Structure 1
């Protein structure tokens, strides 16, 4: 059992925008301690570990977060702000790193996407120099988390391009070398000032040690106001179009459009060089694209290669690439189509390995309009068109099928459905979500039996017309747009939940009560037992007939685990339309109607016990 760690005698308050690695460097400098010792003491690594993994910058797991906060005296909110976790909804590469394709709760994984700098960082010398306060004069300013997002190319505060390399050793700042990614370069080195370069060129001489907090007086190339405005919009996850803040999903989609278009620009360069903000920035991008080796985010990847969907080396090259993307995406639709058509007409083959994840990213996360326009043009450009939607398997695999198909009700419970829909941000009783519930039941039967989807629907008693409306599970597929969800993982969770439920044989119930209806005599007994009296509930009235039909349908639904619309009372649908039973009657009987009359409440409260009594009378409950 791990013993609680003691609180440090002194700590520091995190600086605005600071990242975890920078905070550790500043605190180690204040305590005159090697970073590795501080990493061990704060619980970021085990006592005998020698280096913190780079995935710590993504987020801190619960136990690590608790230990870090206990030893530094920091709140969990401030500690989380040192990591990428708060940006999971605004910067697509962070979503890929923390969510993958699962759509579940964020978790730090050993996945390092493009456009996310985990082996080095850009920086602003003036920020590292600090704001002049006593604490920052001694220990320097912040290494900012935003500098790790490769779409960031400028410091808005100091109106300058970010730097990429150390001016002395000329290696990327804080560059991780070797076969693994670490949070901090040379954590065993004697305490250095946080703004000193820690790169090791010659192991015999130790870290470079050059100060990175001194601006270059000869540098007269500053970003224009337009570029600074673009940088601000990128930081706010509204890269083009809307002048106001976007909801997280829309911002995520548009940032994805931005990065996909950047891949198209790279693949066809220099086709759009004339759209660069200046000749010098166009030359910077040209220089970046001609550099040997992989992108910064792929530098130590075992599969690193030239990829058009990745980031570029310098801040100036990045500014050119993203400014061209913004200029195209802000065009009116007719001009946008023309510009996209010009790009796609010059594309290399779409199956070129250098595309990386471009097409998957486009289909999965881009905004609907941009995705439609690009896919339409690709369809014209190549003889074999790209699919316009994610191809989901016709047979969903589940590792463990510890449930029986007989245990699957046709009326899928809401709590079961939410295991799939909640991670996607969907709930309620809309037609789309009703279709999802029907699909889920059929897919679980299919996975357990090997039936086709239509055979599974017939097994559940679902009308063929309802099955034909599903297509290939499209209601759920459409809800994957802009979200990340690994269907096999979610379905495994759903299957495990179903397996934990009390064993019920809904298949036998559907057969046993296939023709069950509530008789008029049974309804009369129910009325006679009602403590109050109302004329309209006596036999022969039209309203009494509607109530009997609705109550009968809901009892049958409980008996068979099926939708009330399929009850024998209502077959064939529609039967005399709303004159027989309408939504208001069902809503009232379910206790959802605002004007809940006493007799409806009486029937509503009677439903579960009445259904259980029928089950007991018909034999042992399966």
Structure 2
């Protein structure tokens, strides 16, 4: 174990709740009549040659050495830093040493200038706080702190006197060599000609309210502030707090980019200051820099509006703001860069709401899977290869791209699988069985041209459909149906039973009820049961024919499918379709019943297998006899 530097101080102080290391050094230095820089050297906070106390001390403090010399426990020393919040406030983790790729700066970690509540600095009336002042809260360093819920005032920024400061304040304690000041006095140098930043300290008392007539935060602001501060408390789940702060960051960028659309959500006292902040960022004309407001009142207005939008149960209004802030393609949306940079730590709800607005129809990598955009709702196996007619009519048909209805239904199915699995589009199409040639799946050129202007509406409709699927209580497992019917076709016996039930056809011309029609009838039933298209149905009957016969059959497919599917079908085809649909209902019922039986058997047998340590019995493959083998055509003789 490394030797601890220095010896413990003769006297110390108990840290106050929520106090920062800078505030603690100020109070303890005041008690010991030392300068803060001298105390920092004695306690091992900095090297002896260091002349400044920077804000990095909130992240890099050697808590073991400091606890030893300041006569504190290591837990008390660590509580003076931001480190305990690293799993709750993502910018802290990104800037801590050893936390991954180093980030030199994050505008959401530190305020440009100190914020504080004068009444908190004045103390609570106890003897120790009357002597050395109240705590400089470490939360005040974060841009998400803009009001004091206890005293119901906006946090003040910097000093009421004017000081010449041409950049963000990076010091934890200004003028740390000055040993004469109270912890609640301003330590900026007085502005004097020729003295620059090295004049005497200002000394203005910061523990006094500047004006009783100044604006006070509304109850909405105070509730929003308390909610954000609660994220930093240990009783809140760390993962939920981290996603909450990330959501706030993304929504703030959306509000800035969509201005003035969200002006009504901003508190009246903050609107002008928020507008000034947005203009400084460039509004919607240049990419939004990911930066919170410097002024506490502006921060209060903007962040309270963001909290209000996040509280909407379906986030539709937020999506409207994001859509309004995105006049061109997703790659040019000014807020998208913020979302894409931080989406891995967003909440599932925000990620699912915003991801459709940022999706482009391009391959993003070498068929590599990504984190699914939707988790905990529908699964890929619940999606048919050809979007259900009802889903299409309710969600996508109103977009009036009927000329490309078939392509739309295929693309929607692929994207729904992609959202739930993280697969590339080509792999999602392979999963659905509609990409037999392999490679990257793409929509038709006509649909892609339509999407250049209608992509927002398409994504919004697909998002609504996905939410409906998430709410489904008993979804159909289309993938199981596809697996079970992979080797299936209507047997000769079943086909003969069907055609004997057809009504007689008047006239001398009789339809030919041969193996070609049996093949197309099998494709029709397969498509009906699996929610697919006859084009992608297994064609085992056709595969057994000579090459010239297969070519002749292929030329007649479309005509047969047309007669079977047309609403005003001829009597013969209408009767055949009815019988085929009955056969399809029987198949679907048997497959789904077998699936339910398998689930029951697993739930019943698994505890027994575990109790007696019997190895798991492998489940027979879908094509094995005994599953639904009685549904398949028996092997042909010869």
Give the TM interval when normalised to the shorter protein.
Answer: 0.5 to 0.7
In the superposition, the TM-score normalised over structure 2's length comes to: 0.53
Instruction: Measure how far apart 1:170 and its partner are.
Output: 5.5
Q: How does 1:82-121 map to 2 (within 5 A)?
A: 82-98=80-96, 102=100, 111-117=104-110, 119-121=112-114
Q: Report if the CA contact (8 A) 1:273-1:282 is conserved.
A: yes
**CA 1:70–1:358: 2 relative to 1, 3 Å:** same
Q: Which residue of 2 aligns with 1:504?
A: none
Instruction: Measure how far apart 1:233 and its partner are.
Output: 1.0
Q: How does 1:228-247 map to 2 (within 5 A)?
A: 228-237=222-231, 247=237
State how far apart, in whole Å, the 1-side matches of 2:98 and 2:302 are. Answer: 26
Q: Which residue of 1 aligns with 2:144?
A: 151
Q: Which residue of 2 aligns with 1:67?
A: 65
Q: Report if the CA contact (8 A) 2:29-2:39 is conserved.
A: yes
Q: Report if the CA contact (8 A) 1:185-1:198 is conserved.
A: yes
**CA 1:596–1:327: 2 relative to 1, 3 Å:** closer
Q: Which residue of 2 aligns with 1:168?
A: 161
Asked if 1:343 corresponds to 2:322, the answer is yes
Gaps of at least 5 residues in structure 1 are 104-108, 295-304, 396-468, 475-577, 601-622
Q: Report if the CA contact (8 A) 2:111-2:141 is conserved.
A: yes
Q: Which residue of 2 aligns with 1:329?
A: 310
Instruction: Measure how far apart 1:133 and its partner are.
Output: 1.6
State how far apart, in whole Å, the 2-side matches of 1:233 and 1:585 are. Answer: 48
Aligned partner of 2:357 among 361, 377, 382: 377
Q: Report if the CA contact (8 A) 2:4-2:68 is conserved.
A: no
Q: Which residue of 2 aligns with 1:222?
A: 216
**CA 1:138–1:393: 2 relative to 1, 3 Å:** farther
Instruction: Measure how far apart 1:586 and its partner are.
Output: 12
1:555-575 Cα deviation digits (max 9, x unpaired): xxxxxxxxxxxxxxxxxxxxx
**CA 1:289–1:165: 2 relative to 1, 3 Å:** farther
Larger of the two Rg values belongs to structure: 2
Asked if 1:21 corresponds to 2:22, the answer is yes
State how far apart, in whole Å, the 1-side matches of 2:422 and 2:119 are. Answer: 58
- The CA RMSD over aligned residues, in Å, is 4.2
Q: How does 1:291-302 map to 2 (within 5 A)?
A: 291=280
**CA 1:148–1:306: 2 relative to 1, 3 Å:** farther
Q: Which residue of 1 aligns with 2:77?
A: 79
Aligned partner of 2:200 among 206, 213, 229: 206
Q: Report if the CA contact (8 A) 1:257-1:370 is conserved.
A: yes
Q: Secondary structure at the match of 1:309?
A: coil
State how far apart, in whole Å, the 1-side matches of 2:97 and 2:49 are. Answer: 30
Q: Report if the CA contact (8 A) 1:271-1:343 is conserved.
A: no
**CA 1:583–1:217: 2 relative to 1, 3 Å:** closer
Asked if 1:367 corresponds to 2:367, the answer is no
1:11-52 Cα deviation digits (max 9, x unpaired): 111111100111011111111111111111101112222234
Q: Secondary structure at the match of 1:373?
A: helix
Aligned partner of 1:260 among 240, 250, 257: 250
Q: Secondary structure at the match of 1:195?
A: coil
1:40-77 Cα deviation digits (max 9, x unpaired): 110111222223442220253xxx22210111111111
Q: Which residue of 1 aligns with 2:465?
A: none
State how far apart, in whole Å, the 2-side matches of 1:86 and 1:110 are. Answer: 19
Q: Report if the CA contact (8 A) 2:331-2:358 is conserved.
A: no
State how far apart, in whole Å, the 2-side matches of 1:291 and 1:141 are. Answer: 35
1:503-546 Cα deviation digits (max 9, x unpaired): xxxxxxxxxxxxxxxxxxxxxxxxxxxxxxxxxxxxxxxxxxxx
Q: Report if the CA contact (8 A) 1:375-1:386 is conserved.
A: no
Asked if 1:314 corresponds to 2:308, the answer is no
Q: How does 1:12-51 map to 2 (within 5 A)?
A: 12-51=13-52
Q: Which residue of 2 aligns with 1:277?
A: 267
Of structures 1 and 2, the one with the larger relative CO (CA 8 A, separation 6+) is 1
State how far apart, in whole Å, the 1-side matches of 2:26 and 2:361 are. Answer: 51
In the superposition, the TM-score normalised over structure 1's length comes to: 0.54
Aligned positions, number: 384
Q: Report if the CA contact (8 A) 1:129-1:195 is conserved.
A: yes
Q: Report if the CA contact (8 A) 1:35-1:191 is conserved.
A: no
State how far apart, in whole Å, the 1-side matches of 2:131 and 2:232 are. Answer: 37
